[in-house]
Structure 1
């Protein structure tokens, strides 16, 4: 775990030190890290001047607590999450350094579920649902990276219909 954190920190420091000229790059890829719910790797592909696809792969359940009521039992762990959103984005400033976005998509999660019928034992729970997100992305002048802050929600469809969860996050992406 310490080696992984060190590798991530060195990678981010390397990205921040790059001095290539870069403006808001909407027709390109960006890769970064997202801290929040879910946390993990973030990949974004920009299409044209105002569309993008955003993919998050990482952990689910760590930010708002590992213990949470779920169906007739509880979640008691952090799990894996894969989340994808189709986005619409628009410049909020004349120099395009600040962009707003919103989008909709889906989320797949897996966590340990502790139902009462198993007397303290767990089973792996796979859930599927819809999610929506909105946020702001800041593109510093002449830098190849951007910062983002976002919030939204997740509504589970399978296994516990209408189970709600907040999806919030902040992070950094390298644009290329």
Structure 2
């Protein structure tokens, strides 16, 4: 009986210590995103299982780009340190646009270049995020299929990694 009490106490102590050693994050974070786009990122809480994020920066082809998403957090790993998220959002691009149209029969790529204009598209996003340190810092990796609506229709994929700090 005494051994059971001691073992139970040790397990309870370790569990409580583990919970309190996790970073306590705020409702708002800011940081850097690398990929599409490369620039600044913001993220805020929209409840226990939801969040929003914004990114502002330079697109792969050099024009200004902003996107915003509404996110659903999923605790797929049963972990307080890592999780998955999915979301829907929109993207705006400003300035001259470029893109890959298709690959030719001889392996050459054909590109297009738009006039200066504003572009709009909708996107879905899926990502993995984690807080591997005791500091309130989030690392993330996300992929987002994009459907361009204006000035022309088309599809694309955004891929990015980033880091956010939660004061």
Fold-level similarity (TM above 0.5): yes
| Distance verdict in 2 for CA 1:57–1:49, change over 3 Å | same
The SS at the match of 1:123 is: coil
Q: Aligned equivalents of 1:113 and 1:158: distance in 2? A: 12
| Distance verdict in 2 for CA 1:102–1:24, change over 3 Å | farther
| Distance verdict in 2 for CA 1:58–1:97, change over 3 Å | same
| Distance verdict in 2 for CA 1:59–1:142, change over 3 Å | same
Among 142, 150, 156, the alignment partner of 1:150 is: 142
Q: Aligned equivalents of 2:64 and 2:165: distance in 1? A: 23
| Distance verdict in 2 for CA 1:49–1:24, change over 3 Å | farther
In structure 2, the residue matched to 1:109 is: 93
Q: Deviations over 1:31-83 (max 9, x none)?
A: 010000111100000122110010000111x2xxx3xxxxxxxxxxx100110
Aligned positions of 1:13-162 closer than 5 A: 23=23, 25=25, 28-60=27-59, 62=60, 66=61, 78-113=62-97, 123-161=115-153
In structure 1, the residue matched to 2:161 is: 170
Gaps of 5+ in 2: 1-20, 99-112
Q: Aligned equivalents of 1:122 and 1:166: distance in 2? A: 18
Q: Aligned equivalents of 1:54 and 1:129: distance in 2? A: 16
Q: Aligned equivalents of 2:64 and 2:133: distance in 1? A: 35
Q: Aligned equivalents of 2:24 and 2:159: distance in 1? A: 23
Q: Deviations over 1:106-132 (max 9, x none)?
A: 000023258xxxxxx973121011011
Q: In angstroms, what is the RMSD of aligned CA positions?
A: 2.1
* Count of residues in Structure 1 that have an aligned counterpart in Structure 2: 133
